[in-house]
Structure 1
Amino acid sequence: MSRMERMRELIDQLNDYAYRYYVLDDPAVSDAEYDKIYDELSALEKKTGKIEPDSPTQRVGGKLLEGFQKHTHLAPLWSLDKAQSIGDVVAWQERTNKQMKALGLPDASYSLEYKFDGLTINLTYDGGYLIRAATRGNGIVGEDVTEQVKTIQSIPLKIGFAGKMEVQGEAIMRLSVLKKYNETADEPLKNARNAAAGAIRNLDPIQTAKRHLDAFIYNVGYIEGKVFQDHQEMISFLRDNRFNVSTYEKVFSDVTDIEAAVDKVERTRDRLDFLIDGMVIKITDFKTREALGYTQKFPRWAIAYKFAAEEMTTRILDVTWDVGRTGKLTPLAHLEPVELAGATIRRATLNNYEDIMRKHAAIGANVFIRRSNDVIPEILGASPVQDGELAPIEKPVYCPACGTELEEVGPNLFCPNSLNCKPQLTSRMVHFVSRDAMDIENLSEKTIELIFEKLDIKDIAAIYTLTGEQLLAQEGFKEKRTENILSAIEKSKTPPLANFIYALGISNVGKKTAKDLARTFRTYERLKEAKFEELVEIRDVGEIVAKDVVEFFHNENYMRVVQELFDAGVQPQEDAGVVTGGKFEGKTFVLTGTLTQYTRKQAQELIEGLGGKTSSSVSKKTDYVLAGEDAGSKLRKARDLGVAVLSEDEFKEML
């Protein structure tokens, strides 16, 4: 037997042992036997200079990384709509039943799963090997964390399926592992959720390996060459390919039957060795899922039931007022430290002064706090039992940051000094550089605060005047860090128009509205000149948003800052807009089944690039249904309605 053959034999043997130990919890050999085989493999790899991509020696953590690279997912990673009660789940079922009836779909069955509380990861496999691992990011683009994820023993480096696919799961730190880690850690970790997220986002994979993370895989988001009939078949596929799949599997015919199961899990979740913060309910049939489709944010065929937030009582020690990006003041309560949902809580929010009065909050008061998966909990109200002197919380008259007299707008207090109030400037900059805005990497909130403090920057445009000499003169700035920041700033000068609009921080203009404005007006100049009447004609742009947009472009101070951005070389790209005059103008397509010559995204882009539109459901207004392999109910409905059905070859010929 050659050295390479022996190495292959050892790798397969060790990976099988690891699968039995970490996934099946059924060890086949002692640790000493495993270590002996592992040492033999390591020695052979050193002698041959060859390391196979699925070798377990790749799990110890590689060299320190310089930064995270972006990874575009093959298919979007959707978030889930949330239900706070079983009544919300029943209402969701009634909505989907109505839609299914209209589409002629059969009655649904529902899977019930744990909603793991860790960090979502997206794994890409090709040729049977793990080739990429990424964080969720914004659902479209995440961060490449391949080296960190390779340290997770329960994630297979090699699988039986040879096609290209992406699977999603949750990286977690088991509570027993957290406890053991903290016994010897210089700085104990407070929370398993943050411990997992921090480990995955650590640029040193060796440090990630030290946390001994685990992962549960629960979804196939993209796959080539295979179609699943239902959820159960997909889970079986994952299990057959040696992924760590949750042992909790239940299927119900009606969501009302789920209530008892959900209640039991909620009452006994403290017995689990990992954190969960709810349950996920999904329609099992994949053709039904496809027919129901998605809203802009969520799949219509799934919902997350959130467990009741955990509550605790503690005492308010002090209240300070934070100034946000818009100048709004938010009261922040400082508390006696208390353990809640695995974290030490020292602060909690109060919405405004009316909220303070309504909840009878006061300095020295015992209050109920609730943490519902938020970093900063909420104060629910004062406890009926008080055991000390109380001091009222005073309503501020002047801005605590700049001393400007405050203005009251409804129940809220605002600082009108938007030009020189440091917290406002800092918050605007944090928004401006964020991923969905100008996407300037390496500028953390602390870095931005330092820039404002030390370099006397007055507005967001001044970021483009920063020099290497200025940054290198600051404590903690070395050549590599400075180079990365300046490179990211320069790279951001040609943003997509939608990103630029969002970055400007126009009141009530979020990411979707920014994209709609970009597609409608295509250039900044046209948007700037847009009339109120033109704006309200855009779908989902109401009178309030239209008024805010018009007022923004008539504000001299804002326009001065925008001009400074342009003077510094910022040039937002012209948006392609809604194509007119194309071959498919006025035509609506529905895509169904598995496409083999194009991805769905490619087909949609081709259609939209020629002026057409795509829809998720078939109706009398549908012009064409592009049907791939294993097309189901949409194809049947298209034929019933007499809608033209295209094969991929026919679609290609039309192009």
Structure 2
Amino acid sequence: MTDFASEMRTLIEAIDTHNYNYYTLDRPVVSDAEYDKLYDRLVELEQTTGTTLPNSPTLRVGGELLKGFEPHRHLSRLWSLDKTRDKDGLNAWLTRVLKLVGDYNKNNPEQPLPHPTFVVELKFDGLTLNLTYDQGRLVQASTRGNGAVGEGILEQVKTIRSVPLEIPYKDGIIEVQGEGLMFLSVLDQYNQTAAEPLKNARNAAAGALRNLNPKTTAQRKLNAFFYNIGYSDNIRFDNHQEMVAFLKDNRFKVSPDTNYFDSIDDVMSQLEKIGSERLSYDFLIDGAVVKVADMRTREVLGYTDKFPRWAIAFKFEAEEVTTVLESVSWEVGRTGKITPVARVEPVDLAGVTVQNCTLNNIGDIERKNLKHALGSLVYIRRSNDVIPEILGKATEESDGEEIVCPTQCPACGTELEQRGAHLFCPNRLGCRPQMIGRITHFASRDAMDIDTFSVMTAEQLYQECGVRDPADLYKLTYDDLINLDRFGEKKANKLLAAFDKSKECDLSSFLFALGIPNTGKTTTRVLADHFGSLEKVMHASIEELISLHDVGGIVADSIYTFFRDPLMQDSIARMQAAGVQPRAEEKPAAAADESHPFFGKTIVLTGTLSAMSRDEAADRLEALGAKVTGSVSKKTDIVIAGESAGSKLAKAQSLGIRVIDDEQELLELLGLQQS
């Protein structure tokens, strides 16, 4: 056994060296066949002896399916970065740095700080990794999480061949930070044979690293770059150059685009260069990071409650392309609102093929000079590299056909009404898309959560069973369903059981399911928590409603009017007669982390998030000790602005309220990543 163990250690050392040359340095020194021979011999020995050494590269293939992610508390906090998008913001950051350095030197003339010099690094667009090495061995890997606590993903990270399982530095514990990525060329190769192609490299990496099956992670062939030592119980560095040299000496993959400058003008030139070369990289970046290079200066500058004062992220503008606006269709929503949807000639944008773009309303079309743009070239952009939007025409000429605004509902022919900036169809009881939309919304996960229900089910029940209102769902019988196309005995019974289960529901979800105009999950939660019963909500006066923190005059009027509509009263009465019993949910007090930046904050969500619904985001924020409200005031601490944020964002900016408009930052603060 001793001879076998010695040979295994020799093989591991040789394979690790070849992995380092191939995956980290991109300089292979042996052929694939020679590498495979070494690897196969190691596998043979492990099978013969029944022993696998802790640092064996065979562990990289992925082990058993995990039950879940365990929380991991970082030894040193992982910070977010303050951001800017232009030279003025960069200069403002430099001014703050110089002032702090000058103040320190004035008070400490014996040990002055040097004049600041800078390092510029790429801002990778993947999943932040925090690796823990103890006596040279990789013992933990985790996500960033909320900066203090992340999720342990050691088995997943072990599958990344550019991550060393063992390093030469043996003198203590260190935490090494970097970014897990899926290279674009690897993504393309993966998608050529994948049963379900991956949409983009960012989600592919994040999804793989947060997958409970490490074998799935291994199949993605991820890579990683490293750029920081966040914690060490022993080693110290004088400057960033020394730290990068340490990373390289310990076989970590470091970006070759790490450059040092003495002046901010040279820094700006480098940022412009990176921006112009952005699409040439084989991985996604969304900006660059500028840091003060001297470590003692970093210690003196310190941190705000959110960011290091010695670093700033320079975010690039979203990628823009031109394509042809082919058509505009007008879609009817469940509230009767008519929304224009643009279809464009398919074009690749930031790694995603774009065909549809949202246009808010006819005013948006006119503001963007799109009134005569059908068939013309238009600029499109994926805002924050997520949701496509049309910016305007790419030419000045009136060379396109006119986008005609409808005067009648495209679904039922009813004359449309203008309400504010939007058009509405008032035919609530005779407009098919509205009725199907209301029924689908009623049954959705965040509402009554009726299992197996879909928009196709709603359409089928509307067409063949005469369902026109959510209350009609509770009248359906086995005989009604069994004769429907694609309905067998099992499906019919399952749907009836789901209807029956939904009768015991919490009041907040029921109010949301009703689709009260101008209200969302946050408002219905406030109503349920305050009034405690459906009857009290239905009989609340406008004065009582306005007194609630989240309810203004317009919302109060909408709620009051809704519950005095005979049609709504009849629908609710029929549901109650069928056994629907909404009850206010009693929530135990959560033991939130008081050190979390969201704890105790009053937060408003506005716009559309891509990674989750606003309701899900609100639930996560409240679990962290935040108070989520629906209106912006001087009492608001933070506004989280998603895509197409409007007046609430503008009001927050006018009041000087902190705005989080970067969804990746939000996901990190919530302890998540987009997947």
TM-score under structure 2 normalisation? Answer: 0.61
Of residues 368, 376, 399, the one that matches 1:365 is: 376
Give yes or no for contact 1:365–1:382 (8 Å, CA) kept in 2: yes
| 1:290 equivalent in alignment to 2:299 | no
Q: What is residue 85 of structure 1 aligned with on the other side? A: 86
CA distance change for structure 1 residues 21 and 567 in 2, over 3 Å: closer, same or farther? Answer: same
Q: What is residue 151 of structure 1 aligned with on the other side? A: 159
> Match for residue 280 of structure 1?
289
Equivalences for 1:207-356 in 2 at 5 Å? 207-219=216-228, 223=231, 225=233, 232=240, 235-236=244-245, 238-252=247-261, 255-284=264-293, 285-288=297-300, 290-294=302-306, 302-321=311-330, 329-356=338-365
Q: Which runs of 5+ in 1 are unaligned?
A: 465-469, 580-607, 609-655
| CA apart distance, 1:245 | 2.1
Secondary structure at 2:587 match in 1: coil
Name the SS for the 1:15 alignment partner: helix
Q: Pick one of 93, 111, 124 that aligns with 2:119.
A: 111
Distance 1:350 1:194, change over 3 A: same
Matched, 1:374 2:374: no
**In the alignment, is the contact (CA less than 8 A) between 2:542 and 2:556 conserved in 1?**
yes
Aligned to 1:573: 587
Q: Is 1:524–1:572's contact at 8 Å kept on the other side of the alignment?
A: no
Amino acid in the other structure paired with 1:69: G
String of CA shifts for 1:430-453, please: whole Å, max 9, x gaps.
7838xxxx9x9x99xx97646756
Pick which of 101-110 and 249-258 moved more.
Answer: 101-110
Q: 1:157: Cα distance to partner?
A: 3.1
Give the Cα separation in 2 of the matches to 1:305 and 1:29: 40
Secondary structure of 1:377's aligned partner: strand
Name the residue aligned to 2:45.
44
Whether the 8 Å CA contact 1:404–1:416 is kept in 2: the answer is yes
Could you tell me how far apart the structure 1 residues matched to 2:6 and 2:47 are?
A: 15
Structure 2, unmatched stretches of 5+, are 475-480, 594-625, 627-675
Amino acid at match of 2:68: Q
Residue-by-residue CA offset, 1:442-479 (whole Å, 9 max, x unaligned):
99xx9764675678899999999xxxxx9xx9899x99
Once the 2 structures are TM-superposed, how far is the Cα of residue 153 of structure 1 from its aligned partner?
A: 0.9
| Cα separation, 2, equivalents of 1:459 and 1:10 | 70
Aligned to 2:418: 408
What is the CA–CA distance in structure 1 between the aligned matches of 2:10 and 2:531, rounded to whole Å? 61
Residue 355 of structure 1: how far off its partner (Å) = 1.7
SS at match of 2:251: coil
Residue 278 of structure 1, CA deviation? 1.8
| Cα distance, 1:171–1:397 mapped onto 2, change above 3 Å | farther
Partner of 2:446: 432
Moved more, 31-40 or 141-150: 141-150
The structure-2 alpha-carbon separation of the partners of 1:258 and 1:132, relative to structure 1 and needing over 3 Å to count, comes to: closer
Distance 1:360 1:301, change over 3 A: same
Instruction: Give RMSD over aligned pairs.
Output: 6.1
Structure 1 counterpart of 2:358, which letter? T
Secondary structure at the counterpart of residue 432 of structure 1: coil
> How far did 1:36 drift?
1.9
1:131-151: CA deviation from partner (whole Å, max 9, x where unpaired): 444486x87887765554432
CA contact (8 A) 1:407 1:414 kept: yes
**d(CA) in 2 for partners of 1:504, 1:229:** 61
Q: What residue in structure 2 maps to residue 56 of structure 1?
A: 57
For 1:42 and 1:372, the matched residues in 2 are separated by: 48
Match of 2:421, as an amino acid? Answer: P
Structure index of larger Rg = 2
Q: Secondary structure at the match of 2:268?
A: helix
Classify 1:156/1:110 alpha carbon distance in 2 versus 1 (closer, same or farther; 3 Å): same
Give the structure-1-normalised TM-score: 0.63
CA distance in 2 between partners of 1:229 and 1:536 (Å): 57
Q: Compared with structure 1, are the counterparts of its residues 403 and 277 closer, same or farther at alpha carbon in structure 2 (3 Å cutoff)?
A: farther
Contact 2:174-2:233 within 8 A present in 1 as well: no
- Residues 372 and 568 (structure 1 numbering): CA distance in 2 closer, same or farther, change over 3 Å? closer
Residue 18 (structure 2) pairs with residue 17 (structure 1): yes
Q: Structure 1 residue 31 and structure 2 residue 32: aligned?
A: yes
Q: 1:504 to 1:421 in 2, by over 3 A?
A: closer
Corresponding residue number in structure 2 for 1:393: 403
Paired-residue identity, %: 42
Q: Distance in 2 between matches of 1:124 and 1:97?
A: 33
Deviations 1:518-543 (CA, angstroms, capped at 9, x unpaired): 9xx99979x999999999998xx8xx
CA apart distance, 1:15? 2.1
Residues 81-108 of structure 1 deviation map (CA, whole Å, 9 limit, x = unaligned): 5433222322344456567778889675
Q: Does the 8 Å CA contact 1:407/1:413 hold for their aligned counterparts? A: yes
User: Cα–Cα, structure 1 residues 365 and 537, in superposed 2: closer, same or farther, change >3 Å?
Assistant: same
Q: How does 1:152-171 map to 2 (within 5 A)?
A: 152-159=160-167, 160=169, 167-171=176-180
Distance 1:202 1:426, change over 3 A: farther
Q: Evaluate the alpha carbon distance shift between residue 228 and residue 410 of structure 1 in structure 2; reply closer, same or farther with a 3 A threshold.
A: farther
